[in-house]
Amino acid sequence: MPTANEDKFYRGVKVLHDPVRNKGTAFTDAERDLLGLRGLLPPRIHTTAEQELRVLGNIRSKATDLEKYLYLIALQDRNETLYYRIVMNNIEEIMPLIYTPTVGKACQEFGHIFRRPRGLFISINDRGRVAEILNNWPHKETRIIVVTDGERILGLGDQGADGMGIPIGKLSLYTACAGINPTQCLPITIDVGTNNETLLNDPLYIGLERRRVRGNEYNELIEEFIRAAEQQFSGVLIQLEDFGNANAFRLLKNYRDKSCVFDDDIQGTGAVGLAGILSALRITGGELEEQRILFFGAGQAAIGIGNTVVAALVAKGVPLEQARQCCWYFDSKGLLTQGRDNVTQPKLPFVHQANATTDFLEAIRLVKPTAIIGASGQPANFSESVIQAMLEINSQPIIFALSNPTSKAECTAEQCYQWSNGKAIFASGSPFKPVLLGNRTFASGQGNNAYIFPGVGLGIVASGAQRVTDEMFLVAAQTLANTVTEKDLTLGRVYPALSRIREVSTLIAAAVAEVAYEQGLTNKPRPDDILADIHQQMYQPVYPHYA
Ligand code: NAI
């Protein structure tokens, strides 16, 4: 919110061109006089409700989702309060436009649709002056940075600097879903080049025209960035986003104990996956330790979920080795079994004794899973035969197709319900429309880390936690699962309705903050009422009042 002192300098078009201060046609008569706006605006004064009506009408009249995305980004640049009102009041309609799946398309077209920069770009050529770049950011109160190097954007692979759409979208959700003030959010793209030939040959590509830098130069840039960010924005939370597999695991390992850092693809997905499984078990009636989960894909998302499931089991008293036996993996080289060469470190705990196979159907027959979870970025691999094989083993198989965007889902909601005759418990990473089967409607849940990261971030910011711990993701998963109602389950939904995401994020934030206080990760004294303390810190999209 602008202060009275700052506002002395903001008059006339300057106010209208500042998205934080701008109210468009909602400026009152008195404000128009005070700020020198008379004549610069049409005479009719509109209520925010009327402005929302206009915006929604405009969005709905656009022919494609990408055009809707562009309209929304332009609104964000013009009138931030109205933008967040629209997103928050219409989250089910708008989230797919500013996040997956549309944001995937936006990243693929980023250089072509580029209009106005948002966030910071730090390139490999900026080594030695990252602090200077961060100092150029106008909002000194930054509390959350989402940073990507664009190497693994959703399931779309290397998008280089065009991956910037992802940090921008994620931070919009921090504000919309968890009330982090937009001025506390900073999207950053680290441009170390791209190996995407299409982009390298595209004159409109916005990033460096070079192949990806690896090794020491890369590590030094990341190190310089993290140190400079901590220096510039004291206590800042850094979310690593859509890095390539090897860098993601390595950076998390290197920084998690030294800085306030987490990796959303590994830890956020871990928590959302566990929450979905816990809810599904309320339908099937089983215990977590009785499950055999076969992951399709063994990358950040799948290993993240496996690690979180294991942590939940260990917390229940299940011995570590037994807990690991609940999670099996099938990746691009087949079933993860003993005897496989060059198994990377994150997968090692999940190498089990079984016959080797590169056929997923065969893997299902060998492992006899109660659940299959797709996180491969490879579409259409949960075929009718796969679903049938799961039904031969389970009366109600758990089938999650978590790959994003929609085009990369392992199967669609409709396929899953039709092929299983409504018996499967389904969730997907990107949203699907409800499916009507006979006289039953299935409104499957969106197993997306958007249910987790905003609440975790809010809990960390509100409590002033200096580290992000596994326990925080465990309580986030349990809290999310607890918000799922019997009605949700009846609809086949293992996540709460998206319309409740702000309430859910607040509850997650309170649970995460409680862990921060318990684990002594903050210098702030524990408030008597953590939830009230969190509510009081949350941003509301309400216009500033000028007097
Ligand atoms: P990653 O690159 O770390 O891992 C991909 C994995 O898929 C690798 O283990 C690879 O071996 C495996 N794979 C590739 N081709 C395969 C094939 N033909 N058969 C079996 N496995 C194959 O990527 P990450 O971060 O794990 O993401 C994977 C997918 O999950 C992406 O589509 C991403 O958008 C999605 N995801 C969804 C999230 C959600 O909240 N729903 C969160 C994070 C990721």
Kindly report, residue by residue over 184-198, the tens digit of the pLDDT: 999 999 999 999 999
Please give the Cα distance from 230 to 319 (Å, whole number): 38
Q: Is residue 403 in contact with ligand 1, taking CB distance under 6 Å?
A: yes
* Token pair in block for residue 136: 């150029």
For residues 292 and 328, give the distance between their C-alpha atoms in angstroms, rounded to a whole number: 7
Write the DSSP symbol of residue 371: E
Our mutation pick for probing the ligand 1 site, out of 295, 345, 350, 376, counting the most ligand atoms within 8 A of Cβ, is 376
- Here the tokens at position 384 are 């009718």
Using CA atoms, how far apart are residues 327 and 273, in angstroms rounded to an integer? 12
Ligand 1 center–CA 307 separation, angstroms: 15
Q: Is the CB of 96 under 6 A from ligand 1?
A: no
The model's pLDDT over 404-449, given as tens digits with 9 standing for 90+, comes to 999 999 999 999 999 999 999 999 999 999 999 999 999 999 999 9
* pLDDT exceeds cutoff 60 at 132: yes
**What is the structure's pLDDT at 6?**
57
Question: For residue 303, which atom of ligand 1 is closest to its CA?
Answer: 26
User: How far is the C-alpha of 303 from the C-alpha of 324, rounded, in Å?
Assistant: 11
Question: Per-residue pLDDT tens for 86-116?
Answer: 999 999 999 999 999 999 999 999 999 999 8
Q: Which two tokens stand for residue 143?
A: 């509390």
Q: How confident is the model at residue 2 (pLDDT cuts 50, 70, 90)?
A: low
Q: Residue 521 and residue 514: Cα distance in Å, rounded?
A: 10
Cα–ligand 1 centroid distance for 334 (angstroms)? 14
Burial of 341 (0-12, 13-18, 19+ CB in 10 A): exposed
Other CB atoms within 10 A of residue 382 CB? 25
Contact between 375 and 295 (Cβ < 8 Å): yes
| Residue 191 confidence (pLDDT) | 98
Q: Looking at the predicted structure, is the pLDDT value of residue 1 above 80?
A: no
Q: Of the residues 240, 331, 449, which should be mutated to test ligand 1's pocket, given the most ligand atoms within 8 Å of the CB? A: 331
Q: What is the pLDDT of residues 26-59, one digit of tens each?
A: 999 999 999 999 999 999 999 999 999 999 999 9
| Nearest alpha-carbon partner for 38 in 19, 13, 21, 62 | 13
User: Which member of 99, 205, 255, 417 is catalytic?
Assistant: 99
Q: What is the pTM of this model?
A: 0.96
Please say if 170 is a catalytic residue.
yes
Question: What is the helix, strand, coil percentage profile of the chain, to 5?
Answer: 50, 10, 40
Question: Ligand 1 centroid vs 373 CA: distance in angstroms?
Answer: 10
Question: Would you call the peptide bond into 101 cis, given omega within 30 degrees of 0 as the criterion?
Answer: yes
216-264 pLDDT tens trace:
999 999 999 999 999 999 999 999 999 999 999 999 999 999 999 999 9
Give residue 52 CA to ligand 1 midpoint distance, Å.
38
* Three-state SS at 401: strand
* Whether the Cβ atoms of residue 238 and residue 261 lie closer than 8 Å to each other: yes
- Residue nearest to ligand 1 atom 17, measured at CA: 332
Angle at 213 between CA 207 and CA 215, to 5 degrees: 155
Whether residue 201 is predicted with pLDDT greater than 70 in this model: the reply is: yes
Q: How far away, in angstroms, is 159 Cα from ligand 1 center?
A: 16
pLDDT digits (tens, 9 = 90+) for 479-503: 999 999 999 999 999 999 999 999 9
Side-chain-side CA neighbours of 115 within 13 Å: the count stands at 13
Q: Which of 177, 300, 344 to mutate to test the pocket of ligand 1 (most atoms within 8 A of CB)?
A: 300
- The reply to whether ligand 1 has any atom less than 6 angstroms from the CB of 331 is yes
At residue 190, the pLDDT reads 98
The reported pLDDT for the residue numbered 431 is 93
pLDDT of residue 10: 82
Q: For residue 342, is pLDDT > 60?
A: yes
* Residue 450 alpha carbon, nearest atom of ligand 1: 40
Does ligand 1 have an atom closer than 6 angstroms to the CB of 332? yes
How far is ligand 1, taken at its centre, from the CA of residue 402, in Å? 9
Closest ligand 1 atom to 404 CA: 34
Active site residue 218: no
Residue from 23, 68, 105, 170 carrying the catalytic annotation: 170
Give Cα separations from 168 to 117, 164, 220, 331, 423 (angstroms).
10, 6, 25, 30, 38
**Distance (Å, whole) CA 431 – CA 95:** 10
Distance CA(154)–CA(197), nearest Å, equals 18
Atom of ligand 1 lying closest to residue 405 CA:
34
pLDDT of 458: 98
CA of 516 to the centre of ligand 1 (A): 30
pLDDT in tens, 275-324: 999 999 999 999 999 999 999 999 999 999 999 999 999 999 999 999 99
Pocket mutation for ligand 1, best pick of 100, 362, 404 (most atoms within 8 Å of C-beta): 404
Query: What pLDDT was estimated at residue 353?
Result: 96
Q: Is 245 in the pocket of ligand 1 (CB under 6 A)?
A: yes
Residue 408 to residue 376: CA distance in whole angstroms:
8
- H or E element: which one contains 226? helix 216-232
Q: What is the DSSP letter of 500?
A: G
Sign of CA pseudo-dihedral 424, 425, 431, 435: positive
Return the number of other C-beta atoms located less than 10 Å from residue 353's C-beta. Answer: 8
List phi, psi (to 5°) of 335.
-70, 135
At residue 165, the 3 state secondary structure works out as: helix
Amino acid letter at 59?
Answer: I
CA of 275 to the centre of ligand 1 (A): 19
Instruction: Give yes or no for residue 299 CB within 6 A of ligand 1.
Output: yes
Cβ burial 56-92 (10 Å sphere, 16+ → b, else e)? eeebeeeeeebebbbbbbebbbbbbbbbbbbbbbbbe
Spell out the residues 6+ positions from residue 349 whose beta carbon is closer than 8 angstroms to its own: 310, 324
> What distance in angstroms lies between residue 296's CA and the mean position of ligand 1's atoms?
8
| Beta-sheet strands, E only, within 171-307 | 185-191, 237-240, 261-263, 293-296
For residue 402 and ligand 1, the question of a CB distance below 6 A is answered with yes
pLDDT score, position 484: 98
Whether the predicted pLDDT of 4 surpasses 70: no
Provide the mean pLDDT of the chain.
96
Residue 124 CB–ligand 1 contact under 6 Å: no
Residue-level pLDDT at 299: 96
Longest dimension (CA), the chain: 79
Mean pLDDT score, 194-221: 98
What's the confidence (pLDDT) of residue 8?
64
Which residue is closest in CA terms to ligand 1's atom 23? 299
DSSP conformational letter for 212: P
Q: What is the DSSP string of 262-277?
A: EEIIIIIHHHHHHHHH
pLDDT in tens, 347-406: 999 999 999 999 999 999 999 999 999 999 999 999 999 999 999 999 999 999 999 999
Report CA Rg, the chain: 24
